[in-house]
């Protein structure tokens, strides 16, 4: 009986936690991350503030939970795209990952802004966010490593890597156990920045009345990124 009661309490706590986070995500959409308030979330959840504090002691704790959830969600998208395309070329895999990444961003614009937009004033991300935040970059690094191993990515470069940057890249190789040359890592970071920038330009309306076919434009950009990744400098 005691075990059953504990299980019921755990289920109830999980459900309330999910409900609070769902309201928090809605408040992100309605008011923005900077205006997120536990009192306002508690009000919309039909709870007193002191009750919400038992689940999330501060606004930053709720914000962290929302960030972790968002990173895990988009990370799963990238990992699934990588796994589903393992028999395809490096270029087509990059296009597939980028396409699915954009689809997630379009469906979750406010979460995308929370992860890849301007920092939330007064919020310092704790270490809890580090592992989830690496899921998409790790998927892209795995793509690069596999492309190098297959011989599909040109590894030679005429642009020397500064000594300090080489040390940083060596740390990345050590941490990920992926043997990716400096030039390929550099191109990968450039492509990642371009992917984020292209998605952001669309989502935040910077291409409004400039680009009229967002899908065609995005696919063109992905194709150009993939050519740069594979062909080299």
**Contact present, 60 and 38 (Cβ < 8 Å):** no
Q: What values do phi and psi take at 150, rounded to 5?
A: -75, -15
Higher pLDDT, 92 or 4: 92
**Contact present, 227 and 219 (Cβ < 8 Å):** no
The reply to whether the predicted model has a pTM over 0.75 is: yes
From the list 53, 51, 46, 45, the residue with the least C-alpha distance to 20 is 45
d(CA 84, CA 93): 9
Confidence at residue 6, expressed as pLDDT on a 0 to 100 scale = 58
Question: Does position 3 have pLDDT exceeding 70, yes or no?
Answer: no
**pLDDT of 188-227, one tens digit each?**
999 999 999 999 999 999 999 999 999 999 999 999 999 9
Mean of the pLDDT values across residues 132-159?
A: 95
């Amino acid at each position: 009986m005691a075990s059953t009661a504990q299980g019921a309490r755990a289920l109830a706590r999980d459900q309330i936690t999910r409900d609070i986070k769902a309201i928090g995500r809605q408040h992100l959409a309605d008011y923005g991350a900077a205006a997120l308030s536990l009192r306002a979330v508690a009000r919309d959840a039909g709870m007193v503030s002191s009750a919400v504090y038992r689940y999330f002691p501060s606004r930053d704790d709720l914000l962290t939970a929302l960030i972790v959830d968002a990173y895990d969600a988009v990370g799963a998208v990238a990992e699934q795209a990588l796994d589903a395309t393992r028999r395809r070329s490096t270029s087509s895999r990059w296009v597939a990952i980028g396409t699915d990444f954009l689809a997630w961003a379009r469906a979750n614009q406010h979460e995308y802004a929370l992860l890849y937009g301007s920092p939330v004033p007064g919020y310092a991300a704790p270490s809890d966010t580090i592992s989830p935040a690496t899921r998409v970059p790790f998927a892209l690094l795995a793509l690069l490593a596999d492309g190098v191993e297959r011989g599909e990515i040109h590894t030679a470069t005429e642009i020397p890597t500064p000594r300090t940057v080489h040390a940083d890249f060596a740390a990345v190789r050590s941490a990920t156990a992926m043997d990716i040359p400096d030039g390929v890592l550099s191109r990968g970071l450039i492509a990642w920045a371009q992917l984020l920038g292209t998605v952001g330009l669309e989502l935040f309306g910077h291409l409004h009345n400039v680009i009229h076919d967002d899908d065609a434009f995005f696919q063109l950009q992905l194709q150009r990124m993939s050519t740069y990744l594979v062909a080299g400098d």
